[in-house]
Chain A
Amino acid sequence: MALSLEHTEEYMRDPRKHQFSPYADNGGTSIAIAGDDFVMLASDTRLSQGYNVLSRNHSKCFKLTSQTLLSSTGCLADVLTLTKILEARLTNYAHEHLETMSTTAIAQLLSTLLYWRRFFPYYVSNILVGFDEDGKGVVYHYDPVGHMEKMTYCASGASVTLIQPLLDNLVGGKNMKDGRTTPITQDFAKRLIHDGFVSAAEREIATGDGCTIYTITKDDVTEETFKLRKD
Chain B
Amino acid sequence: MSILQYNGGCVVAMTGKNCVAIATDLRFGTQFSLIQKQFERVFQVGPKLFVGLPGLTTDTQTVLQRLKFRIKMYEMREGRRVQPKVLMAMIQNLLYERRFGPYFVSPIIAGLDENDKPYICCFDLIGCSTDPEDFVTAGTCEESLYGLCETLWRKDLEPDDLFEVISQSLLNAVDRDAISGMGAVVHIIGLWSDSYIAIFNFCVGIL
| Chain B neighbourhood of A166, CB < 8 A | 147-148, 151, 172
Interface: B47 (CB within 8 A): no
Known A162-B144, A162-B146, A175-B205; judge A168-B172 contact (CB<8 A): yes
Contact B144 A165 (CB under 8 A): yes
CB < 8 Å neighbour of A203 from B141, B147, B172, B173:
B147
Bound state CA distance, A168 and B141, in angstroms? 15
Interface: B168 (CB within 8 A): yes
Contact B172 A174 (CB under 8 A): yes
Interface: B114 (CB within 8 A): no
Residue interface bits A117-135, CB-to-B below 8 A is 1, else 0: 0000000000000000000
Contact B151 A161 (CB under 8 A): no
Q: What's the A-B contact tally at a CB cutoff of 8 Å?
A: 59
Min CB distance A217 to B, Å, is 26
Min CB distance A88 to B, Å, is 36
Contact B150 A202 (CB under 8 A): yes
Interface: B19 (CB within 8 A): no
CB < 8 Å neighbour of A162 from B143, B168, B175:
B143
Interface: B66 (CB within 8 A): no
A19-62: which have CB < 8 Å to B? none
Min CB distance A24 to B, Å, is 22
Interface: A149 (CB within 8 A): no
Contact B172 A199 (CB under 8 A): no
Q: Is chain A's interface secondary structure helix, strand, loop, or mixed overall? A: helix
| Chain A neighbourhood of B141, CB < 8 A | 161
Among residues of B, the one whose C-beta sits closest to the C-beta of A200 is B147
Bound state CA distance, A200 and B150, in angstroms? 8
Bound state CA distance, A196 and B143, in angstroms? 13
B151-170: which have CB < 8 Å to A? 151, 167-168
Contact A199 B176 (CB under 8 A): no
Among residues of A, the one whose C-beta sits closest to the C-beta of B143 is A161
| Chain A neighbourhood of B171, CB < 8 A | 174-175
| Chain B neighbourhood of A204, CB < 8 A | 143
Min CB distance A173 to B, Å, is 11
Chain B count of residues within 8 A CB distance of the other chain: 16
Interface: A112 (CB within 8 A): no
Contact B172 A169 (CB under 8 A): yes
Bound state CA distance, A170 and B168, in angstroms? 10
Chain A count of residues within 8 A CB distance of the other chain: 19
Among residues of B, the one whose C-beta sits closest to the C-beta of A192 is B151
What would 17 A/B residue contacts be, using CB atoms closer than 8 Å? A162-B148, A164-B147, A164-B176, A165-B147, A165-B172, A166-B148, A168-B175, A174-B171, A175-B171, A198-B150, A198-B151, A199-B150, A199-B151, A200-B150, A203-B143, A203-B150, A204-B143
Bound state CA distance, A159 and B143, in angstroms? 9
Interface centre among A162, A168, A200 (most CB of B within 10 A): A162
Interface: A223 (CB within 8 A): no
Min CB distance B160 to A, Å, is 15
Known A175-B168, A175-B205; judge A165-B150 contact (CB<8 A): no
A158-189: which have CB < 8 Å to B? 159, 161-166, 168-169, 174-175
| Chain A neighbourhood of B146, CB < 8 A | 162, 199, 203
Contact B147 A199 (CB under 8 A): yes
CB < 8 Å neighbour of A169 from B148, B150, B205:
B148
Min CB distance B119 to A, Å, is 22
Contact B168 A169 (CB under 8 A): yes
A193-211: which have CB < 8 Å to B? 195-196, 198-200, 202-204
| Chain A neighbourhood of B173, CB < 8 A | 165
| Chain B neighbourhood of A202, CB < 8 A | 150
Among residues of B, the one whose C-beta sits closest to the C-beta of A176 is B168
Bound state CA distance, A175 and B167, in angstroms? 9
Bound state CA distance, A213 and B141, in angstroms? 28
| Given A159-B147, A200-B147, 19 more pairs with CB closer than 8 A | A161-B144, A162-B143, A162-B144, A162-B147, A164-B144, A165-B144, A166-B147, A166-B148, A168-B176, A169-B172, A174-B171, A174-B172, A175-B167, A175-B175, A195-B151, A196-B147, A198-B150, A199-B151, A200-B150
